[in-house]
Amino acid sequence: MSLATPTTKIALRLNLSRDDLLMRGGLVVLAGVLLLIVGLPLWALLAKGFQDRDGQFVGLANYISYFSTPALFNSALNSFHVAAVCTAIVVPLSFLYAYALTRTCLPAKWLFQGISLIPIFAPSLLPGLALIYLFGNQGFFKGLIGGSIYGFDGIVIAQVFYCFPHATMIMVTALATADARLYEAADALGASKIRVFFTVTLPGAKYGLISAALVVFTLVITDFGIAKVIGGNFNVLATDVYKQVIGQQNFSMGAVVGMVLLVPAALAFVVDRLVQRKQVALLTARAVPLIPKPKFGRDLFFTAFCALVSAGILVILGMAAWGSLIKYWPYNLSLTLANYAFANFDANGWESYFNSLRMAAGTAIVGTALMFVGAWLNEKTRGFGAVRAVVQLLAFLPMAVPGIVLGLGYIFFFNALNNPLNFLYATMAILVINTVAHFYTVGHLTATTALKQIDPEFESVSASLKVPIWKTFGRVTTPICLPSILDIAIYLFVNAMTTVSSVIFLYAPDTKLASVAAVNIEEAGTTAAAAALCLVIVVTSAAVKALHLLADRFLLGRLQAWRRR
Amino acid sequence: MTNYLEVRDLSKRFGDFTALGNVSLDVAEGEFVCFLGPSGCGKTTLLRAIAGLDPQTSGTIRQKGRDVSGLPPAQRDFGIVFQSYALFPNLTVADNVGYGLVSRRQARGAIAKRVEELLAMVGLPDSGPKYPAQLSGGQQQRVALARALATSPGLLLLDEPLSALDARVRLRLRHEIKALQRRLGVTTIMVTHDQEEALTMADRIVVMNHGAIEQVGSPQEIYRRPATAFVADFVGSMNFLGGTLETPERVKIGGLTFACPAQDGLAVGTKVRLSIRPEDVRVRDLPADVANRVPVEVAELDFVGAFCRAGLKVRTDGDVALVADFSSNLIRDLGVEIGSRLDVALPPDRVRVYAA
């Protein structure tokens, strides 16, 4: 080995390959797109809160008048109250349900799991409608409850239905990953069942519990449909935004309420991210999966519990279905399909349903492509840290933003006369764009997780073999991630079908969506037709999900023979 | 021999942490070089810098006379094999091996023929239509090797290629890779933390620690004449006895003095560590005037299989202890057991001295 003569140190100049340039360019475009569909609308909303009705800057005047108007400020307290109560109910409920699914010998597990997911396929106003049938002014069981179902009680019951699957899914994930060896060790040390539960089970599910609580809290506080349908005179933040904007055309005050609504949602999101970060090291690849053994008493108790909860879900869904088929509640209970002739209740008739289908399909296609390619660019681009950080931030932002707040931001940003993009306003395109933005985070996270699971050296190998990176993306990365890509597409489709909150500000007469039409029909007083429309949405989303499961099983099995050993 | 690869003053920093500090190294054409060191020593960082996968912070790399310091991996000339194999799971073995050939716009027949050749070369002639998941770990690593060699690169980089395999397969692949490398004459750099692997496979070993090169040399040099106490300790087993340099050729340890090779680099009176390998401790047929004779008592005796590792306590100075390897024959012939008293000698030409 020869000793080199000392050379003066010069900072290294890196040459960029064509791949590097291509990916950096793509990343810049992505950052621009996210800025347009997430960043700037939120900025517009923030700015609007400091302006009066004529667009003059007024500083904190709107905020001062908000906090000094008890009627407005009260809804904030109401929102917190409802969210806290719902969280306290849903988290234990979903914990027990998930415990039954993962840690006991529950019969027909797949059925109970399936039933627990049903609410996901429904617009949030569906449980509200069902409750009106059951306990409303003309409800079957009106006598059973002391007061009126309209208000606090109704919102809580409907929210529990609506949030239950989200919390249960998180709890199932948290409880499914138990290490059997921990339980064996506890048994060998002679710990009692109660002690094992409090020292092994609960700590293992700790992060899941926190995450579920935060998700439920955020869902409740940001949901619009339920409070709208069954809230009565009980005002919450989400309905206040709607009333200020649609009812009173007071956009500035709407923006202020939106900002107030943003705070708890964003806070919950930040806490959740911090908690998630801690969880990483908890699981080791060498953990031995826990397989529950039959135990009569426990299994009986949990079967009864799950049956009860499932019955509750099915009653609410069934009530909405039955109500939609009844001629004139509660006086003429004979069955009819008349409520499905939507043209009699809403000018758009069935067209709003087809609009929803078009919008959901568009969102699934455009959104999945953007989210997957975007996540890939962000994961695989060499260097370029600053732009990647910006993309990461903008991709995470939508999760912290309530739909109704994002929708409001869209009005302010895209409806501005000086915005060259305002031709998009009141088109189908803006509904798709808004929905993609609204649900961007989950898709981005799913794609990122899938990409992180494949060998990071694939790109190194391709580079050493002089194969362009986009070729490897098409030939290797995408086929491997196909199941996750399908997951994202289905997630987007179902959410686009059911969403109400952000699109309620953005539709035009000819682009009205089914979920929005349901709100309008209900507002006009025809509960049966609204329930019918909700049901059509449920059936569509559930059918698409069922198709997805079938495709996963058979189509992917054939296309992806390489997964088999 | 000409230098195929010249690394000059290579540094890699992550914030305040220096992963590589001013590393310089030459590799001759056709040579098999191993980077050896504990995890975190910078060996993989150096390999990835040479490949351009994680570029260095400063310093230059020349490959075949061409400055490649700032070039992206795609513009450098190398094939690479990873510990994880990094085989594309959705492509057949044949498609994996031919992956780099397809983009070179060769005729389909020519590609198929070359793939066949490569698979035969790594001993998997009939595995073309299979998917990687259907192969064993050792077979997958051979496919990865065939894929890396498919485009006939001038430089083959192996990043812990055998670490994920079980012991028996590892042993066999060691020989196969070495034989293949010799046959093709391709310049090869392998990263490993397994000293045995490095000693058996490499033409030259680069021992690294804390982001710097400790020693470069042939396996024999590294083992027989470790340049630093770190190398002595990391490669093979080694006794270290703390003492003081009395004269350039004598070390005082407790109440004993030992003869050692002349030390020009160390001043008399400095604290030193005297080292000797367990297998170099002599027991049998000691001449009367043998140098460095030490009376010892056997304190421990661990059966290791082919030999026993004995823990010895010096009888005249209970604080000094050393470890020696005794063959089964020796133990039987001399009737060695725990508590046995015997004399051993530390041959001065096998003794090395390092500053403490």
Burial class (CB within 10 angstroms; exposed 0-12, middle 13-18, buried 19+) of B179: exposed
Q: Are B47 and B20 in contact (CB under 8 A)?
A: no
Tokens for A263, please give them: 């705070």
CB neighbours of residue A478 within 10 Å: 15
Answer for the pair B333, B283: CB distance below 8 angstroms, yes or no. Answer: no
DSSP B229: H
A370's tokens: 């953007």
Per-chain mean pLDDT for chain A: 86
CA distance A3 to A227: 78
For A464, the closest of B80, B84, B91 (CB atoms) is B80
B99 contact residues in A (CB cutoff 8 A): 461-462, 465, 467
pLDDT at A16: 83
Give the C-alpha separation, B206 to B219, whole Å: 10
When the pLDDT of each residue in chain B is averaged and rounded to a whole number, the result is 90
Considering only CB atoms, A467 lies closest to which of B70, B100, B131, namely B100
- Kindly identify which residue of chain A lies nearest to residue B150, measuring between CA atoms: A465
Q: B197 CB contacts (<8 Å, ≥6 apart)?
A: B34, B162, B170, B174, B190
A134-138, A264-268, A407-411, A445-449: lowest mean pLDDT where? A134-138
Q: Per-residue pLDDT averaged across B133-158, rounded? A: 92
- pLDDT-derived band at A286 (thresholds 50, 70, 90) equals low
- Is pLDDT above 90 for A70? no
- In the A/B pair of chains, how many CB contacts fall below 8 A? 121
Nearby residues of A141 by Cβ (< 8 Å), 6 or more positions away: A134, A135
Residue A1 confidence (pLDDT):
40
Q: Tally the C-alpha atoms within 13 A of residue A247's C-alpha that lie toward its C-beta.
A: 10
User: What was the pLDDT predicted at A6?
Assistant: 45
Euclidean distance between CA atoms B25 and B47, whole angstroms: 12
Segments making up each domain of chain A, as ranges: 29-48+338-565, 69-323
Q: Which residues pair with B307 in a beta bridge?
A: B327
Distance CA A525, CA A356 (A): 22
**Is the pLDDT at A7 greater than 60, yes or no?**
no
Confidence of residue B28 (pLDDT cuts 50, 70, 90): very high
Burial tier of B222 (Cβ tally within 10 Å: 0-12, 13-18, 19+): buried
Query: Could you tell me the end-to-end alpha-carbon distance of chain B, in angstroms, rounded to an integer?
Result: 38
- Give pLDDT, residue B351: 92
Q: What stretch of H or E contains A213?
A: helix A206-222
Buried b (16+ CB within 10 A) or exposed e, A68-94: eeeebeebbebbbebbebbbebbbebb
pLDDT at residue A279 in the model: 63
Average pLDDT of B107-118?
89
**Whose structure tokens read 């499914």?**
A176
Q: At what angle do helices A251-279 and A70-103 cross, to 10 degrees?
A: 30
CB hemisphere CA count around A538 (13 angstroms): 26
What's this model's pTM, rounded to 2 decimal places?
Answer: 0.86
User: Is B129 at the interface with chain A, CB within 8 A?
Assistant: no
Distance (Å, whole) CA A2 – CA B25: 8
The shortest CB-CB distance from B73 to any of A11, A460, A561 is to A460
Please identify among residues 88-117 of chain B the ones whose CB lies closer than 8 Å to any CB of chain A. 88-91, 99-100, 102-104
Q: DSSP label at A520?
A: H
Chain B residues 153-212 with a CB less than 8 Å from chain A? 153
B146 versus B164: the higher-pLDDT residue is B146
What pLDDT sits at residue A139? 74
A385-400 and A251-279 are packed helices; what angle lies between their axes, rounded to 10 degrees?
Answer: 110
Q: For residue A468, list chain B residues with Cβ-Cβ distance below 8 A.
A: 103
Tell me the nearest-neighbour CA distance from B168 into chain A, angstroms: 23
* DSSP code, position A151: T
Q: Which has the minimum average pLDDT: A174-183, A254-263, B3-12?
A: A174-183
Q: A510-560 pLDDT, tens per residue?
A: 888 988 888 888 888 788 888 899 999 999 999 999 998 888 887 777 767
- The sheet carrying B307-314 orders its strands as B321-327, B307-314, B293-303, B341-345
Within 8 A of B151 by CB-CB distance, chain A residues are 465-466
Spell out which residues of chain B touch residue A464, defining contact as CB-CB under 8 Å: 51, 73-74, 76, 78-80, 100, 148, 153
Structure tokens at B282: 């002599």
Q: Which of A297, A315, A361 is nearest to A492 (CA)?
A: A361
Closest-CA distance of chain A to residue B79, Å? 6
Residue type, A3: L
Show Cβ contacts of residue A337 under 8 Å, excluding neighbours closer than 6 positions.
Answer: A325
- Minimum CA–CA partner of A455 in chain B: B86
DSSP state of A346: S
Rounded Cα distance, B189 and B192, in Å: 10
Count, residues in chain B: 356
Q: Are strands B58-63 and B155-159 parallel, antiparallel or unpaired?
A: unpaired
8 A C-beta contact, residue A169 and residue A97: no
Condensed to tens digits (0 to 9), the pLDDT of residues B179-235 reads 999 999 999 999 999 999 999 999 999 999 999 999 999 999 999 999 999 999 999
Stretch among A80-89, A183-192, B28-37 having the lowest mean pLDDT: A183-192
**Contact B147/A465, CB-based, under 8 Å?**
yes
Q: Examine the pLDDT at A389 and tell me if it is beyond 80.
A: yes
Please tell me the distance from the alpha carbon of residue A466 to that of residue A82, in angstroms, as a whole number.
Answer: 59
Dihedral in degrees, nearest 10, Cα atoms A544, A546, A549, A550 = -100
Q: How far is it, in rounded angstroms, from Cα B185 to Cα B162?
A: 20
Please list the alpha-helical segments (H only) found in A59-108. Answer: 61-67, 70-103
Whether the bond between A330 and the residue before it is cis, its omega within 30 degrees of 0, is yes
Contacts of B53 in chain A (CB under 8 A): 460, 463
| Domain at A29-48+338-565, CATH from 1.10.1200.10, 1.10.3720.10, 3.30.1950.10, 2.40.100.10 | 1.10.3720.10
Whether the per-residue pLDDT at A169 is higher than 70: the answer is yes
Are the beta carbons of B131 and A17 separated by less than 8 Å? no
Which pLDDT score is estimated for A366? 96
CB contact under 8 A, A17 and B74: yes
What is the radius of gyration, based on Cα positions, of chain B?
Answer: 25
Q: What is the pLDDT of residue A287?
A: 62
The CA distances from residue A479 to A440, A474, B94, B130, B148, in Å, are 22, 7, 18, 17, 22
Chain B positions touching A20 (Cβ under 8 A) are 72
The interface predicted TM-score (ipTM) is 0.82
B58: nearest CB among A9, A468, A471: A9
Lowest pLDDT segment from A431-445, A452-466, B101-115 = B101-115
User: What does the buried/exposed string (b/e) look like for B230-251 if buried means 16 or more CB atoms within 10 Å of the residue's CB?
Assistant: bbbebbbebbebebebeeeebb
The CATH superfamily label for domain A69-323 reads MetI-like (1.10.3720.10)
Report the largest interatomic distance among the alpha carbons of chain B, rounded to a whole angstrom. 79
- Give the tens place of pLDDT for each residue, A147-161: 788 888 889 999 999
A394 pLDDT above the threshold of 80: yes
| pLDDT at A276 exceeding the cut of 50 | yes
For B49-104, the pLDDT digits (tens) are 999 998 899 899 999 989 998 888 988 999 999 988 899 998 999 999 999 888 66
